[in-house]
Amino acid sequence: MVVSASPLNRFKNSLLDKVLLGNEPNAELIAILTVYFVQGILGLSRLAVSFFLKDELHLSPAQVAALAGVAALPWVIKPLFGFLSDGFPLFRYRRRPYLVLSGVLGAIAWVALATVVHTAWAATLAMLLASLSVAISDVIADSIVVERVRGQSNSEAGSLQSLSWGISALGGLITAYLSGWLLQAFTIDVIFWITATFPLLVCGVAWWINEKPVAAAENSLALVKTQSRNLWWAIRQKAIWLPTLFVFLWQATPNSETALFFFTTNELGFEPEFLGRVRLVTSLAALVGIWIYQRFLRAVPFRVILGWTTVFASGLGMTTLLLVTHANRAMGIDDHWFSLGDSLILTVMGQIAFMPVLVLSARLCPAGVEATLFALLMSIWNLAGLLSQEFGALLTHLLGVTETNFDQLWLLLVITNLSTLLPLPFLHWLPGPEAAETSLELPQ
């Protein structure tokens, strides 16, 4: 006789299925989600780092923007970490030891910031190390995700990608408000000490990765040559480099984020606690953006999503001019409320726009070179982000925007928002609907 599950058990299973977006719960999934969760929860120190550079090291907006770009360098060389993971197993494992290494490096970096970093150069080195830690763990987690989604349908692959980024956003959500509140309640050093504990979680879950040891014969120069040949074949495919070029141009346009941070803190007098509220709102907005994509847009062609969201985001970004010119006050809208609403809307649009890029990147990776190629694609996006920071720093300097002079900030905002429209004529470089359910296979 077959005994059916109780209504309570069916409800629990249904609820778990919805929370995990249809992904089967197991130790490896928990390990993957923990890595992404830690990436989000490291945002606890984001405001502390900004105020550390501004108030304790006394750097200008252009200097902070330039330093942020330099600190992003590990994300640009992510293919190296993917190549090492795929071709040079440590202790006969490709994934677990690299996760442990990343956790140790991260803990060292944050301890250094809390204790021995007192100059701009030392801060740059420590931030590089912290960034290196997250970049390595991100490469490993991404490669495992790619392995899991290979062969799945576009919607199934989108579910795991949405879950991963949703967990990362949840980590950011938990620490969003705390990042500002803690900064007012404790010293910056204390926050760095707290942050140093989180990378160690990655070390702990590394052993949950379902991975078989590599045979001794595989750990050889022949394996490296095979990886190099496969990667070279992959990057020469038009189906890969054309979408990559479009996203690069789209992400490389200059931004004014650092200048706005100085404006809101020095000119408008926003306190760390309120900036924590803004981060809380943007973290919630990121979750909303992921949910909207997962629920309504994952089957929509990439061209349609990226095209329309770019146009809308550019237009909505112009509303920040009201805050910079204080026109919002004439409209009876308080600076704080205006900043919250503006951040919420722009974050939702940005998250919706980037989700299809992640799904496309995962599906383009052939078996056997997934960590290296996915890391290469992500590093290109990160290089574009670095250039965006540096172009923004250059514009900030050329327009004379400093920690006390914001006369030309409105012009900086206009230029940065309009520049995001420049790649739209090349939207056809993205794959059409007919390519959404296909994936590349390495030549035999």
Structure tokens at 384: 């574009």
Fold adopted by 24-209+220-432: Growth Hormone; Chain: A; (1.20.1250)
Structure tokens at 276: 């924590």
Residue range 295-344, pLDDT digits in tens: 888 778 878 888 888 888 888 889 889 999 989 898 888 988 888 887 88
434 secondary structure, DSSP code: G
pLDDT value at position 112? 94
Residue 12 pLDDT: 43
Ranges in the chain, pLDDT < 70: 1-25, 148-161, 215-224, 227, 360, 362-372, 375, 432-444
- Compute CA distances 295 → 23, 298, 304, 308, whole Å: 16, 7, 16, 18
Q: How far is CA 237 from CA 53, 248, 251, 314, 367, in A?
A: 43, 17, 21, 31, 15
Task: Give the pLDDT confidence score for residue 373 in this predicted structure.
Answer: 74
Max intra-chain CA distance, the chain: 80
* Cα–Cα distance for residue pair 270/250, rounded to 1 Å: 31
Distance of CA 25 to the CA centre of its chain: 24
Q: Which of 252, 260, 341, 250 is nearest to 302 (CA)?
A: 250
Give the residue extent of every domain in the chain.
24-209+220-432
How far apart CA 226 and CA 211 sit, in angstroms, is 21
Is the separation of the CB atoms in 385 and 254 below 8 Å?
A: no
DSSP secondary structure string for all residues of 364-386: T--TTSHHHHHHHHHHHHHHHHH
Residue 180, helix vs strand vs coil? helix
pTM > 0.85: yes or no: no
Q: Given the structure tokens 């956003």, which residue do they identify?
A: 169
pLDDT of residue 195: 93
DSSP secondary structure string for all residues of 49-61 = HHHIIIIIS---H
- Give residue 16's pLDDT: 45
263-304 pLDDT, tens digit per residue, is 988 888 888 888 878 878 887 887 788 788 878 887 788 788
Residue pair 196/41 in contact by the 8 Å Cβ criterion: no
